[in-house]
Copies of this chain bind each other. A is one copy, B any other.
């Protein structure tokens, strides 16, 4: 039978075997002592835990460079995130197509969210406009937001917000480069 051990997983994930076991044990105990974890079972259990079998309706708000790149990103579909809407406030962009999806006007966004078209909103708008868009989709009843705007956003507790902050990564790199002990 195909199995793997917490030690294998730790090496792959860049962590320790104790960490792997503690983390997994949070969701139950699906390993076998002396043997390890059944790969198919572990895989299936993790899929269930992460909800990767489900499908989520997603809109991307802001069809700039990053928004456009994301619109064709395969990783979304692979994880059940189906991009069914694109929005932009620029009249030049409204009506154009990206893949099979037509760009709609941001004016229609709140109504569309309210009508249940989307579970998740992906934000690729300038920082200045980010909070107002957030308020809009929250008002419409969105469940989760993934933001790429490098700014602190506020949402009610029942809305899941995650931020990918490139600017912060760059500043962390800059800090590390500036303060490295060895001069290489």
Contacts and interface: CB of A to CB of B under 8 A. Distances in A.
Interface in A36-50: 49-50
A65 interface: yes
Which applies to chain A's interface (DSSP): helix, strand, loop or mixed? Answer: mixed
Given A65-B72, A164-B164, A182-B158, A175 B14 contact: no
Interface stretch (A85-93, A101-109, A144-152): A144-152
Query: Is the interface on chain A under 10, 10 to 19, 20 to 34, or 35 or more residues?
Result: 35 or more
B65 A73 contact: yes
A175 B50 contact: yes
A162 to B, nearest CB: 5
5 contacts: A50-B175, A66-B69, A68-B69, A81-B173, A146-B170
